[in-house]
Amino acid sequence: MILNGTRINIIKLINDLANLKGNYIKEFQSSACPNAFDPNLQKLSHLLKPGSFKIGSIDIKNPVVSAPLAGISDNTFRIFASAFGSALNCTEMISSFGVHYNNRATDRLSFITEYERPCALQIFGCEPEVMLEAAQRLEDKADIIDVNMGCPVPKVLKAKSGGFLLTDKKRIEKIISRIAPKIKKPLTIKIRLGWDAGSTNAPEIVEIAQSCGAAAVTIHGRTVKQGFGGEADYEIIKNIKKTASIPIIVSGDIDTPLKAKQVLEYTGCDAVMIGRAARGKPWVFFNIACSLNNATGFAPGDLKQTSFNCTGSKINYSSIDDAGKMGQLIDNNDILSMFNFEPSREFKKKFALLYLKFLSEFETEQGAAMQFRKYLAWIFKGVPNISRVKKEFFMVKDYDDVKNLMEKI
């Protein structure tokens, strides 16, 4: 399934990635928080507490996981996410009908390397029998089978899939109860708060999911009709977690270590799912995982849940006594701002070239370069004076073009 490369090439690139990660950690230590860690920080496992929680039999080693992102969450993205600390990855959505009809794209989308595990394989659709067939045919490739029940993209909704399923609780029950007992791997679902503000039925969906055999639920803090507009609301998710018997992962607008800590503390959820914030910046997984284990001596749940109030995604601390226990974590961003680290321009240039090399192992060189154009904008966003070369991001055609472009940045 590796289009251009060999296993030897991949192993070499994995070694290069390990060295790149080491360089990031050195910059992180020297620039962000030089006194925060001991020399063993070079080993990422030193940061992360093993056995944070389980999805079925799968050990999720820290509470920071990677979201499925259409057109982005490919092998390269997942390999980098794992290297920088994501405890669980997920494929892009795969059509259950595409599996049924042996669509050639399915093989590419469902290919998972050993360097990106544990990894969930996400399917979508609306017909229980077809979705069961897809889950059974794909499960040997994955660690977890995930069903998308929250996607707000119009063409998915038109097919009565994704977020449209939230309008049909009986169909959701049929899908989960049909798949869960028939596969060997854990089954999870990804949902939103509901179809719209007038039908926030996520609590009922979670009850159905856990009673039918789902092993975990991820909840995005918006309705389907919201798309990605407005702000994520965590209040309903917090109430769901209080009574849930399976792990709950919270998603939506989580883009900094401080926000991750706030949301975990407020909701009591088992993990945060990071999506758009990681585009071109996989180090966000490292920053957040690192901060959750080192910013304070408190683990999620140590604070009284009643000490927060939440409107949308704005979380306010209301108890002076409890705020003091956290070293003013919520009122003062200084404690966690040091973890919201951006590496140097030189690091980003090396990162960009290595990322493209990985892409080229799974695509043609020209295809990889075309795909990489959008990454250049994400990687170098905010770099001083980048506007003078930004138009060239969308003109690169191969590795040499990108390499020459790096000399101008």
- Specify whether 40 is located in the same domain as 75: no
Chain segment 192-206, per-residue pLDDT in tens = 999 999 999 999 999
Chain segment 249-307, per-residue pLDDT in tens = 999 999 999 999 999 999 999 999 999 999 999 999 999 998 887 643 333 333 222 23
- The pLDDT score that the predictor gives to residue 60 is 95
Q: How far is CA 138 from the centre of its chain?
A: 21
- Specify whether 106 is located in the same domain as 248: yes
The last residue of a domain, from among 306, 337, 368: 337
- The pLDDT score that the predictor gives to residue 145 is 98
| pTM beyond cutoff 0.85 | yes
- Specify whether 175 is located in the same domain as 114: yes
Average pLDDT over residues 383-403: 93
Q: How large a percentage of the chain has pLDDT more than 70?
A: 83
- The pLDDT score that the predictor gives to residue 242 is 97
Catalytic (active-site) positions: 151
- Specify whether 25 is located in the same domain as 6: yes
172: CATH: 3.20.20.70
User: Looking at this protein, which amino acid is placed at residue 339?
Assistant: F
- Specify whether 240 is located in the same domain as 132: yes
Average pLDDT over residues 344-360: 97
Candidate from 5-14, 96-105, 280-289, 295-304 with smallest mean pLDDT: 295-304
φ/ψ of residue 220, rounded to 5: -85, 135
The last residue of a domain, from among 313, 337, 361: 337
Structure tokens, 296: 């304070």
Average pLDDT over residues 387-402: 94
- The pLDDT score that the predictor gives to residue 30 is 83
- Specify whether 298 is located in the same domain as 315: yes
φ/ψ of residue 237, rounded to 5: -65, -40
Q: How far is CA 347 from the centre of its chain?
A: 23
Taking residue 42's Cβ as centre, other Cβ atoms within 10 Å add up to 13
- Specify whether 216 is located in the same domain as 73: yes
Q: pLDDT tier at 101 (50, 70, 90 boundaries)?
A: very high
- The pLDDT score that the predictor gives to residue 29 is 83
Mean pLDDT across the chain: 86
Chain segment 208-221, per-residue pLDDT in tens = 999 999 999 999 99
Rounded CA separation 158/2 (Å): 34
Domain that holds residue 135: 47-337
Chain segment 147-194, per-residue pLDDT in tens = 999 999 999 999 999 999 999 999 999 999 999 999 999 999 999 999
- The pLDDT score that the predictor gives to residue 294 is 61
- Specify whether 240 is located in the same domain as 362: no
> How many residues does the structure list for the chain?
409
Average pLDDT over residues 382-406: 93
- Specify whether 314 is located in the same domain as 391: no
- The pLDDT score that the predictor gives to residue 292 is 84
- Specify whether 318 is located in the same domain as 399: no
Beta strands in 125-280 (DSSP E): 144-148, 187-192, 216-220, 248-251, 271-274
| Nearest Cα to Cα of residue 252 among 268, 261, 263 | 263
Candidate from 25-34, 63-72, 175-184, 304-313 with smallest mean pLDDT: 304-313
Question: Burial of 137 by CB count in 10 Å (0-12 exposed, 13-18 middle, 19+ buried)?
Answer: middle
The last residue of a domain, from among 280, 307, 337: 337
- Specify whether 90 is located in the same domain as 185: yes
Domain count within the chain = 2
Q: Is the peptide bond before 154 cis (omega within 30 degrees of 0)?
A: no
- Specify whether 89 is located in the same domain as 153: yes
Candidate from 36-45, 89-98, 223-232 with smallest mean pLDDT: 36-45
